[in-house]
């Protein structure tokens, strides 16, 4: 059965013009793509490739020069679609004079939520993003990471069906970044659709089902992450530790099948994994040193 499209973009072109109406830059050129319900979709591309422009066009913050956009079955300019959308902007453009509770209460009011609903939802989200100890502090006193967290909380205030995240891990430390990615996966598991744009490829690879790669406003690649990354002409084997003799035997067997061993060695963890393990151990055993001190080494 065909999965329902949450976002449909057809031949979308956006040209930025100057005050006199002269063309300044073509930010998007004939972009067409669909985002299906329940998937995590990544928009990738270098700076200036049109990711944020696409996101703003989806939200009706910018108007298309040409083409059509349908979000949740409604035109992008229709305000009523926003009832089911959550948006985390690239920078967390929040009101710096409000504290976390006031911020969430304010955005809750914009959804006509009752005071009780707002209070419950604010408490849930503050806990979710880990800002319990800073709930009464004005946002101007927040670090960038904390601002991203409260930004995410405001995007989720209405328990949206479609969540648009613009550079969601930007400004977050590896721990925060991991939390964000875990949250995205959790949202997907709850049946929500997530569209994120990022130039941090590892983040996208970790969480996205499908991606689109943009360059200079044009769509260059579109498909499932696994499919796009799969090397069709190579095979990967992962074994327990092999002796040099065993490696030589493997090479002999491969030669029999007209194949050769391209690379062998010990697999490495990602730096992110190492960092997270170290932090986790530190939390479990505070005060314990994992690396010998300089004096102990000597």
Please state the closest distance from residue 127 (CB atom) to another protein, in A.
Answer: 21
- Looking at the Cβ atoms of 41 and 84, the one nearer to another protein is 84
Does position 15 interact with another protein (CB under 8 A)? The reply is no
Stretch that binds another protein, among 61-69, 183-191, 202-210, 243-251 (CB under 8 A): 61-69
Query: What's the min distance (Å) between Cβ of 85 and another protein?
Result: 7
Nearer to another protein, 92 or 169 (CB): 92
Interacting residue with another protein among 85, 180, 187, 219 (CB under 8 A): 85
The reply on whether position 59 binds another protein by CB under 8 A is yes
DSSP string over 49-110 = SSHHHHHHHHHTSS--SEEEEEETTEETT-GGGGGGEEEE-SS----TTSBHHHHHHHHHHT
One of 63, 223, 242, 246 touching another protein (CB under 8 A): 63
- Indicate the residue among 62 and 219 with the shorter CB distance to another protein: 62
Among 4, 23, 30, 91, binds another protein (CB under 8 A): 91
Query: Which 97-156 positions form the footprint of another protein (CB under 8 A)?
Result: 97-98, 102, 106-107, 109-112, 138, 151, 154
By CB under 8 A, tell whether 93 contacts another protein: yes
Q: Toward another protein, which CB reaches closer, 85 or 184?
A: 85
Q: Which residues contact 156 (CB under 8 A, 6 or more apart)?
A: 86, 125, 128, 163
Q: What is the DSSP letter of 138?
A: B
Reduce the DSSP state of residue 238 to 3 states and report it: coil
Q: How far apart are CA 64 and CA 77, in angstroms?
A: 10
- Choose the stretch contacting another protein; rule: CB under 8 A; options: 53-61, 226-234, 258-266, 267-275: 53-61
Dist. CA 180–CA 166, nearest whole Å: 12
CB of 33 to another protein, least distance (A): 20
Is-contact 54 213, C-beta < 8 A?
no
Q: In what helix (H) or strand (E) does residue 32 lie, and over which residues does it extend?
A: strand 23-36
> Is 158 near another protein (CB under 8 A)?
yes
Residue in this structure with the two tokens 């099948």, named with its chain if needed: 257
Do residues 215 and 48 make contact, with C-beta atoms less than 8 angstroms apart? no
Q: How many residues bind another protein (CB under 8 A)?
A: 30
Among 70, 82, 147, 198, binds another protein (CB under 8 A): 82
12 by Cβ neighbours in 10 Å (0-12 / 13-18 / 19+) ranks as buried
**Nearest-approach distance from CB 133 to another protein, in angstroms:** 22
> What tokens does 160 get?
């949206």
Please report how close the Cβ of residue 102 comes to another protein at its closest, in angstroms: 7
Contact 33, 67 (CB under 8 A): no
Q: Which is nearer to another protein, 56 or 181 (CB)?
A: 56
Question: What angle is formed at CA 259 by the lines to CA 253 and CA 260, rounded to 5 degrees?
Answer: 85
By CB under 8 A, name the binding residues for another protein. Answer: 56, 59-63, 79-80, 82-83, 85, 87, 89, 91, 93-95, 97-98, 102, 106-107, 109-112, 138, 151, 154, 158
């Amino acid at each position: 059965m065909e999965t329902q499209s949450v976002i449909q973009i057809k031949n979308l072109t956006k040209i930025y013009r100057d005050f006199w109406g002269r063309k300044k830059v073509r930010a998007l050129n004939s972009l067409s793509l669909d985002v299906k319900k329940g998937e995590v979709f990544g928009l990738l591309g270098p700076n200036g490739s049109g990711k944020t422009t696409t996101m703003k066009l989806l939200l009706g913050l910018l108007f298309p020069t040409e083409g059509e956009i349908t979000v949740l079955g409604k035109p992008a300019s229709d305000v009523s679609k926003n009832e089911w959308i959550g948006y985390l902007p690239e920078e967390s453009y929040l009101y710096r004079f409000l504290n976390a509770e006031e911020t969430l209460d304010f955005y809750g009011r914009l959804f006509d939520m009752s005071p009780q609903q707002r209070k419950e939802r604010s408490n849930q989200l503050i806990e979710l993003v880990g800002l319990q100890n800073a709930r009464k502090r004005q946002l101007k006193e927040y670090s960038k990471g904390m601002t991203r967290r409260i930004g995410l909380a405001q995007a989720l205030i209405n328990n949206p069906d479609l969540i648009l995240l613009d550079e969601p891990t930007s400004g977050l430390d590896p721990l925060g970044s991991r939390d964000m990615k875990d949250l995205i996966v959790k949202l997907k598991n709850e049946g929500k659709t997530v569209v994120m744009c990022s130039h941090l490829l590892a983040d996208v690879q970790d969480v996205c089902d499908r991606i689109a790669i943009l360059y200079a406003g044009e769509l260059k690649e579109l498909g499932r992450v696994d499919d796009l990354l799969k090397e069709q002409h190579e095979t990967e084997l992962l074994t327990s530790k092999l002796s040099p003799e065993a490696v030589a035997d493997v090479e002999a067997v491969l030669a029999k099948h007209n194949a050769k061993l391209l690379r062998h060695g010990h697999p490495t963890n990602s730096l992110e994994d190492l960092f997270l393990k170290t932090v986790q151990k530190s939390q479990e055993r505070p005060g314990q040193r994992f690396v010998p001190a300089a004096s102990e080494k000597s």
